[in-house]
Structure 1
Amino acid sequence: MRILIAAALMLSAVAPIPAKASEIMGPERFCGYSPIIDLRDGEKVTTLEGGIHGGSFRWEGAFGTLEVNGIGWASRPKGQIVKARSSDRPARFSQTRVEGVYQIAIWNGEHAAAYFKSPNPFTQPQLDAIDRVELFEEGQSPSNCKLRTFFSWE
């Protein structure tokens, strides 16, 4: 038993400590739950909850506040594509109303998607912010991520 306790203490001393939500601030590249966002000065991300294939966070900046649900193993979102996918940007779907909030989805054309939610119709600054978001899939390791979420069984 003492050996197990000693081993656990040694592992906790060298294991990385997850950043507190208040520490996830720009400017830095954030890669979390599928979205990749180059956070600008004054923007911040607050993690909310994570799961096996994705998770959610709050993204705040000069554009306002968006609730984001990223999924690294997703199917095509429902709805109409209003901005086509390109080699470096996901497709953006039309704004819909879901369970009393407005929602916009983006999709990489394969297995990654993100859903952005707002209590009010999306503004042009929010659409511009969403258009800055890239996506990665489960199993991929995007580069230059200074801030990221990671899967844990805890």
Structure 2
Amino acid sequence: MLISNIYGRLAADPTEKTTRTGNPMALASVAVDVTGQRTEDGDSETLWVSLMAFGHQCEALLRAEKGQMVAAIGKLTRGRYTGKDGTERESWTLLAESVVTAKSARPGGGRQRPNGDDRQRDQAPTQRQPPAHDFHDSIPF
């Protein structure tokens, strides 16, 4: 097990599960483009990582949707298993300590307003107050 980070696209909407002790957890599958690794036909190689999150990270992950980019840092583990066809396979799971999505990175987690509607822009500009001290006076020494 090692601390690692991943950055990829969600394959589906995250799902919420409950542990045996009643704590909520989120599960998601993330497609990570493995930079520098190309298949024989020239396409980039995709590494599929299962993402697990608890607590605040669970809440952040559950706000994300299929197709969105997600970045996560946590403990990465590799598992090995034999597929139904008898071939040896591996799986990767990241237990998230930090999750950042487009919705968690934007203040309020909301979407941008259509047509550039920005409430701050519509407010009247405030008048600038003069500085409390005049720093342009001569130095007394």
- Give the shorter-chain TM-score range: under 0.3
More strand by share: 2
Larger radius of gyration: 2
Normalising by the residue count of structure 2, what TM-score does the alignment of the two structures yield? 0.25
